[in-house]
Amino acid sequence: MSSILQRIRRLFDLDADSNVIDAHLSRDRRLAPLVAASPGLRVPGAWDGFETAVRAILGQQVSVERARRLAENNLIERCGEGGFPEADGLARSAPGSLGIPGKRWLAIRGLARAVADGAIDLNEGADLQELTDRLMALPGVGPWTAGYVGMRVAKDPDAFPDGDWAVLGTLGATPGAARRLAMTWRPWRAYAVMHLWSSPPLTGASDRVQSAGET
């Protein structure tokens, strides 16, 4: 029972010190109103690390709704047997069998093979740097996917899904400018991302990005 309770606490991020996190992020004038509007915002964990990682790959450069439909219609219905497919099943999938674009299918199959072979550990307590390095070594997996998995699976409070379109749109920033801005949010970048995901575009964001060094 204690292990289940621990997983639930991780899933809902119940051990986060919201007062400390909110105080730190509120130092940034861009984030201060977002933190005031949603104090105590937490970073959800993952009940199943493999499923979360696969869904992250499905979500590359598409909307959340599109990624959800790909998971439900192309993975669960075709080979899930009532639930999300296991790694060994997806590792044996043939090209075109899942109806997923080629590059993302290669990334999912590569991830599934690595998990099935034990080369990648997506369980609680996995070493963050090792996980990031191994994910980035897979074809079709880049900084955004690795950062998202770091947030949700490894529960790294400073994980940052580099190049996230929603973050860039909210800030009105280029990827390089967003990375520079995010340095001031450390070691709580994952929580800053949650606030930005929950926010409409910031008023005057483009001007503030310019002042941060963007030319």
- Tokens encoding 3: 């292990």
Region of residue 159 (phi > 0: left; psi between -120 and 50: alpha; otherwise: beta) = beta
- SS3 of 28-64: CCCCHHHHHHCCCCCCCCCCCHHHHHHHHHHCCCCCH
The closest alpha carbon to 132, from 147, 153, 117, belongs to 147
The closest alpha carbon to 93, from 77, 109, 75, belongs to 109
SS3 content of the chain, % helix, strand, coil (to 5): 55, 0, 45
| Residue 106 neighbours by CB under 8 Å, 6+ apart | 139, 140
| Residue 173 neighbours by CB under 8 Å, 6+ apart | 167, 181, 205, 206, 209, 214
Q: Which residues are catalytic?
A: 164
